[in-house]
Structure 1
Amino acid sequence: MPKYAEARKKLRGSICPVITPFKEDGSLDEETFKELVNWQIESGSHGISVTGTSGEPSSMTIEERKRVMDLAKEAIDGRVFFTPGTGSTNFDEAMELTKYAEEIGADAAMVIVPYYNKPNQAALFDHFKTIADAVEIPIILYNIPGRTGVNLEVETMKALVDACPNIIGAKESNKDFEHVNRVMLYCGRDFLLYSGIELLCYPMLAIGGAGFISATANVDPVRVADLYNKWADGDVAGAQDMHYAMMPLNDVLFKDTNPAPVKAALGMMGKITPKLRRPLGLPTEELQAEVREVLESLDLV
């Protein structure tokens, strides 16, 4: 069975896009990172992703991103599936990182729409197809138009799925839920569609999605995983309850640019030194007070 066929069956649930912890001097905090991965798995997360948006990849060197992948692979040790983010605004970097993910045995590679340079749809097709054709590892497209400045259109996504059998899914951080429904319709019901918008995690399951890659899982992995578990167990009312219970946390964590509020929250929880790399910085004191209030209401601090 091709690796991508096997991946279609197992890459489901709550995949935590783990943040990258830094020390006060800005260097990678390797021990804390491994502790975070272990905590996620022990808390019920079904999969781990790294160096996606929450991991601040644009502030890291290629070697640092590879090191984080290595640390994650080692810490996971086969307990859950592993889907590192390997995309970049630079094509050669994206190719190198995707090949590296395959080399170290990741279960899939998540490749973001190139940010800042805003390629047209034909260029996006060429970008993703060239990467997918160069590897056998399953590919998850990552569409986040609010940060890339361009939307990966449904027609382009369908063309990629038709052309590349190892393109098996997409993380849709797209608030246009009509677009998301059409992705599922045209790419096929076996296409693995993950929500990257926190308030759309539950609705994504309702239309046949495979799960979610939610930054909130960094802070509250138990509840985020439980939302998926309840749905998978047929407890629709319980999943709805969890969806609404988490809304205040989802809201407050996105009042500033991700992962700034997430790192502030993890600092309050004693999990990390809340350090971001420039140009990002911590939220205002007023927003941090709001974050703490919500954490307290959920017994997370």
Structure 2
Amino acid sequence: MSKQYEEIKQKLRGSITPVITPFKSNYEVDFEKQSELIEYQLENGTHAISVTGTSGEPSSLTIEERVQVMENAAKTINGRVPFAPGTGSTNHDETMYLTKKAQEMGADAAMVIVPYYNKPNQQALYKHFKTVADSVDIPIIVYNIPGRTAKNLEVETLAKLAKDCPNIIGVKESNKDFEHVNRVLLNCGRDFLLFSGIELLCYPMLAIGGAGSISATANVEPKKVAEMHDAWFNGDVKRAQELHYELMRLNDVLFKDTNPAPVKAALGMMGKIEPVLRLPMDLPSESIQDDIRQTLKDYKLI
């Protein structure tokens, strides 16, 4: 493995916030608000930034907009923390294009999702990820989220990719199967970066040797999510456990509807953004919004 990949593996740890894509009331991307959200993250101890992952509504953006969102984020971050944008798509050529763009703009890594909707078999998934990885000289984090892609990247496939592609350095597992994520580190190696994409598994994944989390909740409460990781890595297991349970109610309410709708509703209530999503996504029901509002009050976020 090259020195470049080893260095980013050491840096890319802790709380990586998948920053939402803010829209104006006319549905245009609000780049000024995006920069403000990133600054809010950095002020509160977030360890790294991602954009245009699930929380960033990539399927609601044009390819040009996705590049612009990545470029604005890279410019705002300006090397202060690692940057790992989501570059995956259901379309192979689009994934190649966006991943190359991430490399051109100096991203530290690219997060590439299992293609959604078309349900490739494991051989096709291997070919897809290997072709993307071979086309760039940038670290790749595979993104496995079977609940939204309708396809699970099996451990054996991921292990073969990790063996055959030196720049595939880790995986974001939004996978509720905890046996699966244990076997990822067993088969891919204990130094393979394992990130949790399931909020209630962020702490448990640290306990089995995970590198951190890429949690939508960090959009709303970045300080405590980052602090949980800091406590764990500093050996304060009790404090990490306390924060895990302290965050649980907020995690629950932010997933009462499809992400990122509750997160955008919450950020709107906090005065951070206009709470706007593009169709076919929309804000949660009034009853869910009432629950979000009360939870934010209880957490003293509003």
State the identity %: 68
**Structure 2 Cα separation of the partners of residues 126 and 2 of structure 1:** 26
Deviations 1:32-58 (A, max 9, x none): 000000110111000000000000000
For residue 33 of structure 1, what is the aligned residue in structure 2?
34
Deviations 1:54-96 (A, max 9, x none): 0000010111000001100111011100000000000000000
Query: Which residue does 2:43 correspond to in 1?
Result: 42
Contact 1:50 1:84 in 2 (8 A): yes
- 1:9 Cα deviation after fit: 1.1
Q: Are the aligned partners of 1:3 and 1:136 in contact in 2 as well (CA < 8 Å)?
A: no
TM superposition shift of 1:2: 3.3
* Residue of structure 1 equivalent to 2:279: 278
**SS of 2:230 mapped into structure 1:** helix
1:193-208 correspondence to structure 2 within 5 Å: 193-208=194-209
Question: Letter of the aligned partner of 2:60 in structure 1?
Answer: S
2:64 and 2:5 mapped to 1: Cα distance? Answer: 27
The answer on whether the counterparts of 1:82 and 1:107 sit within 8 Å (CA) in structure 2 is yes
Q: Distance in 1 between matches of 2:154 and 2:72?
A: 34
**Aligned position for 2:18:** 17
Secondary structure at the aligned position of 2:271 is classed as: coil
1:208-262, Cα deviation, whole Å (9 max, x unpaired): 0000000000000000000000101111000000000000000000010000000
Aligned residue number for residue 118 of structure 1:
119
Question: 1:138-217 to 2 correspondence within 5 Å?
Answer: 138-217=139-218
Output aligned runs, 1:279-298, within 5 Å. 279-298=280-299
C-alpha RMSD of the superposition: 0.5
* TM-score, length basis structure 1: 0.99
Deviation at 1:23, TM superposition (A): 0.5
Number of equivalent positions: 301
Q: Unpaired segments of 5 or more residues in structure 2?
A: none
For residues 9 and 249 of structure 2, the distance between their equivalents in structure 1, rounded to whole angstroms, comes to 32
**What is the match of residue 55 of structure 1?**
56
* Counterpart-to-counterpart distance in 2, 1:122 and 1:145: 17
The offset of 1:6, in angstroms, is 1.3
Partners in 2 of 1:232 and 1:264 — Cα distance? 32
Q: TM-score, normalised by structure 2?
A: 0.99
Task: Indicate the residue corresponding to 1:80 in structure 2.
Answer: 81
List, as ranges, runs of 4+ consecutive aligned residues in structure 1 with deviation greater than 6 Å. Answer: none
| Contact 1:121–1:152 (8 Å) recurs in 2 | yes
User: In the alignment, which residue of structure 2 is the partner of 1:230?
Assistant: 231
Deviations 1:74-130 (A, max 9, x none): 110111000000000000000000000001110000000000000000000000000
Distance between the aligned counterparts of 2:67 and 2:290, measured in 1? Answer: 35
SS at match of 1:81: coil
Partner amino acid for 1:263?
Answer: K
Q: Kindly provide the amino acid, as one letter, of the partner of residue 107 in structure 1.
A: D
* Alpha-carbon distance between aligned partners in 2 of 1:2 and 1:53, rounded to the nearest angstrom: 30
Q: What are the residue-to-residue correspondences of 1:248-287 with 2, within 5 Å? A: 248-287=249-288
Question: How far apart, in 1, do the equivalents of 2:203 and 2:107 lie?
Answer: 27
The whole-number CA distance in structure 1 between the counterparts of 2:18 and 2:110 is: 13
CA distance in 2, matches of 1:266, 1:289: 14
- Partner secondary structure for residue 82 of structure 1: coil
Q: Which residue does 1:71 correspond to in 2?
A: 72
Q: Is the 8 A contact 1:108 1:137 kept in 2?
A: yes
Q: Once the two structures are superposed, what CA deviation does each residue of 1:153-197 show, in whole Å capped at 9, x if it has no partner?
A: 000000000110000000000000000000010000000000000
CA contact (8 A) 1:73 1:106 kept: yes
1:100 aligns with 2:101: yes
Match of residue 3 from structure 2: 2
Q: Which amino acid aligns with 2:299?
A: L
